[in-house]
Chain A
């Protein structure tokens, strides 16, 4: 059980540690002291703390100040900042409770607060701040610029013994290689990396001798780091003129042959630039294999991604483990997981040795194209490596992102197997349908509907009696009071409910007999309301 309370001076050390652990690249301990503890505007009564068994697991800060809202006019404001929750306690509503603590009309009035603002991660804002607090993103007239002024830390790390040993372990060919690569990176000083028979040296000198010159920007370098098929991506980048590579033919050939080594060098360059979060928009995702515990987030992501579809088994972590992870042709390394910088899962794919992509799913609120491309790129690479002869994937027809990506990767569309569904108990099925559409139908009168079914299998009840009206659909008991009597056959009613046939079509094809006839418009309205609107989709994992 979590306990929520306000900050007290004894909490300083624990909060400082929490902030330092949560924002290692940005807020170090001394920043917390400066920003809050030693800030003349610091007010402990607006800092919220969450604790479990006496241990601080979360905190949220407010800084009070003024805010220029119009020309010549400022109002009192609160800046929400430094919201931190320990990793093991996330997704449990702690942040939500911290943000709401002390958020009352009286508190704002007392302090004269007019606006509350935040510089938030857009994804967190979309998920948490906007729905919970009513925050609106403002279109800033702000441009952010950066440049690298020195490669010193890169040069230092390259010169370290451990680095050289690691690189040699990963690329045994390094012992026989003599290659110098000169990186002309936009917004950065020149960088020359020499690979000479097992030794690696880096310097900021311009290479004047026989070397390969690689010219491009960090964003392109990053895309080369993220791919599994670096040769193909490199060629595409060259053709798209995003990167230029110059040098003698033999050196170029040698570089191409050792493309994965070049990729490792790009990685060194890019990771040097990314800790300050400069390339967020280009490289926010990375891919890794499945790790124990991922199934909770994966099941949530699946259900969220397909919540508007019908026709599949909703995922629980246990069901997902059985139908994906424990599938005989699935290796753990073939469950690919795309995560963002906060290790939050943004997409995943489950690939079988048979070539079947049992599941491929991405967060529809994120950069789908990047996530899906990353997954396809890596899973194609995996299947190539294990010698699979074909790749099969089920994707929703309306999902333009997956469809486009499949086309890009050379997939062909072919007819999917058909699914046949039947209803066993209309009496329970129809109220469930109505429940899922609650609020979408407005009526001012109640009707009692008596449906007589023809050609029903013997296990199906051929009479349905229900009350439809302002309170949705409920079973009725007295057929004497039926206000609408309908006669139809089993297949027609099933087709109507599953959205395969429209009510008007059923009527014009004389598949519906309605009594009294002036209630026809009302019946059509009821049937339209009950019809399933959701598109049907079934991932391969459901029937494999």
Chain B
């Protein structure tokens, strides 16, 4: 079968399309910096070990549509690797890896390192077939500095789930760090509003600040924390509704970090 893709290196003006491709390919993930042209330029193109020759772009021969790209640094790091989900991923990846390996050999890099989403089986299969070994990825640690705004953002995403709740919930964070507001209220009605103080509420939640962070980041289940006694909900008859609220605001999307984000 004739190869419908071909590779080339970066030329001025490509960035808009690459940024679009990045955001499209990582649409289902969270935990990274959304790319803008300026940010992409700084974190990829301006990176000291990256030259335009190391930015490998694979396009469809006929339509010139970008099917994938990789940003290879002279250090051997593939800072970004991105493939359009609607293409023949294996073929596109093979081309990218072939060109990247040649480039890295040329610049005397001696290893190749890359991050891949762990649920992207096509990418993983490609890595295994191309004799890569898996190693422990870097770990990400998150602290929340503004619970009110975060909850406002998260509730906006779960409006449908929360529509029937019609409650005012006051959250009291125990052992909160000094830079965090320890008490805030959320009024769930037709509109969801978060207030930075305690209000006369129908549900009161008392929870350790670190436990609440884990719950919001999806690292712990509200029901489990309730059973462990680390989450206190009053009145008891509203436990179901409080859990429904907490489950709705939890981040459940997979976390992915491209290497380019941590420089």
- Asked whether any CB of chain A lies closer than 8 Å to the CB of B204, the reply is no
Q: What residues on A are CB-neighbors of B127 within 8 Å?
A: 143, 145
A105 near B178 with CB under 8 A, answer: yes
With most chain B CB atoms within 10 A of its CB, the pick from A103, A149, A150 is A149
- Asked whether any CB of chain A lies closer than 8 Å to the CB of B217, the reply is yes
With most chain A CB atoms within 10 A of its CB, the pick from B104, B177, B180, B209 is B177
For chain B, the count of residues having a C-beta within 8 Å of the partner chain is: 75
B156 near A73 with CB under 8 A, answer: yes
Q: What residues on A are CB-neighbors of B222 within 8 Å?
A: none
Q: Smallest Cβ distance from B60 to chain A, in angstroms?
A: 26
Q: Which of B134, B139, B214 contacts A125 (CB 8 A)?
A: B139
Q: Smallest Cβ distance from B253 to chain A, in angstroms?
A: 6
- Asked whether any CB of chain A lies closer than 8 Å to the CB of B61, the reply is no
Q: Smallest Cβ distance from A58 to chain B, in angstroms?
A: 20
Q: Which of A40, A72, A113, A187 contacts B146 (CB 8 A)?
A: A113
- Asked whether any CB of chain B lies closer than 8 Å to the CB of A322, the reply is no
Q: Which of A115, A151, A278 contacts B150 (CB 8 A)?
A: A115
Q: Which of A130, A133, A145 contacts B135 (CB 8 A)?
A: A145
Q: How far is the CA of A150 from the CA of B111 in the complex (A)?
A: 7
Q: Smallest Cβ distance from B176 to chain A, in angstroms?
A: 8
B116 near A145 with CB under 8 A, answer: yes
Q: How far is the CA of A117 from the CA of B30 in the complex (A)?
A: 13
Task: Kindly list 16 other residue pairs between chains A and B, CB separation below 8 angstroms, not including A71-B27, A71-B253, A114-B149.
Answer: A40-B42, A67-B31, A81-B262, A104-B179, A114-B146, A125-B139, A129-B141, A139-B219, A140-B137, A144-B113, A144-B116, A145-B113, A145-B132, A147-B131, A187-B132, A278-B135
- Asked whether any CB of chain A lies closer than 8 Å to the CB of B200, the reply is no
- Asked whether any CB of chain A lies closer than 8 Å to the CB of B181, the reply is yes
- Asked whether any CB of chain A lies closer than 8 Å to the CB of B38, the reply is yes
B255 near A276 with CB under 8 A, answer: no
Give the interface of B toward A (CB within 8 A). Answer: 27-34, 38-39, 42, 46-48, 76, 101, 104-105, 108-119, 124, 127, 130-146, 149-150, 153-154, 156-157, 177-181, 209-210, 213-214, 217-219, 251, 253-257, 262-263
A109 near B143 with CB under 8 A, answer: no
A142 near B134 with CB under 8 A, answer: no
Contacts A141-B118, A141-B119, A143-B116; A133 near B143 (Cβ below 8 A)? yes
A119 near B257 with CB under 8 A, answer: yes
Q: What residues on B are CB-neighbors of A144 within 8 Å?
A: 113-116, 134-138
Number of A-B contacts (CB under 8 A): 244
Chain A residue at smallest Cβ distance from B157: A70
With most chain A CB atoms within 10 A of its CB, the pick from B111, B141, B144 is B141
Q: Smallest Cβ distance from B196 to chain A, in angstroms?
A: 9
Q: Smallest Cβ distance from A365 to chain B, in angstroms?
A: 15
- Asked whether any CB of chain B lies closer than 8 Å to the CB of A92, the reply is no
Q: How far is the CA of A71 from the CA of B138 in the complex (A)?
A: 23
With most chain B CB atoms within 10 A of its CB, the pick from A114, A136, A146, A150 is A136
Q: What residues on A are CB-neighbors of B109 within 8 Å?
A: 149-150
Chain B residue at smallest Cβ distance from A218: B133
Nearest first, the 5 closest Cβ-Cβ pairs linking A and B are: A141-B254, A135-B141, A145-B132, A144-B137, A187-B133
A280 near B33 with CB under 8 A, answer: no
Contacts A65-B33, A129-B141; A147 near B130 (Cβ below 8 A)? yes
A148 near B153 with CB under 8 A, answer: no
Contact bitstring A194-230, B, C-beta under 8 A = 1, else 0: 0000000000000000000000011000000000000
Q: How far is the CA of A130 from the CA of B31 in the complex (A)?
A: 18
With most chain A CB atoms within 10 A of its CB, the pick from B116, B138, B142, B255 is B142
Q: Smallest Cβ distance from B175 to chain A, in angstroms?
A: 9
- Asked whether any CB of chain B lies closer than 8 Å to the CB of A69, the reply is yes
Q: Smallest Cβ distance from A439 to chain B, in angstroms?
A: 15
Q: Smallest Cβ distance from A133 to chain B, in angstroms?
A: 5
- Asked whether any CB of chain B lies closer than 8 Å to the CB of A30, the reply is yes
Chain A residue at smallest Cβ distance from B117: A141
Q: What residues on B are CB-neighbors of A273 within 8 Å?
A: 111
Q: How far is the CA of A7 from the CA of B27 in the complex (A)?
A: 37
- Asked whether any CB of chain B lies closer than 8 Å to the CB of A239, the reply is no
Contacts A69-B153, A278-B135; A141 near B178 (Cβ below 8 A)? no
A-B contact pairs, 14 of them (CB 8 A): A40-B38, A68-B29, A69-B30, A112-B149, A116-B145, A119-B257, A120-B141, A136-B143, A136-B217, A139-B219, A140-B140, A141-B254, A144-B136, A150-B109
Q: Which of A31-39, A162-170, A311-319, A491-499 contacts B (4 or more CB under 8 A)?
A: A31-39
B157 near A141 with CB under 8 A, answer: no
Q: What residues on A are CB-neighbors of B181 within 8 Å?
A: 105
Q: Smallest Cβ distance from B106 to chain A, in angstroms?
A: 11
Q: Which of B27, B46, B119, B213 contacts A136 (CB 8 A)?
A: B213
Q: What residues on A are CB-neighbors of B210 within 8 Å?
A: 130, 134, 136
Q: What residues on A are CB-neighbors of B145 within 8 Å?
A: 78, 108, 113-116
Q: How far is the CA of A105 from the CA of B144 in the complex (A)?
A: 12
Q: Smallest Cβ distance from A476 to chain B, in angstroms?
A: 35
- Asked whether any CB of chain B lies closer than 8 Å to the CB of A75, the reply is yes
B254 near A152 with CB under 8 A, answer: no
- Asked whether any CB of chain B lies closer than 8 Å to the CB of A281, the reply is yes
B110 near A150 with CB under 8 A, answer: yes
B139 near A153 with CB under 8 A, answer: no
With most chain B CB atoms within 10 A of its CB, the pick from A66, A68, A113, A276 is A68
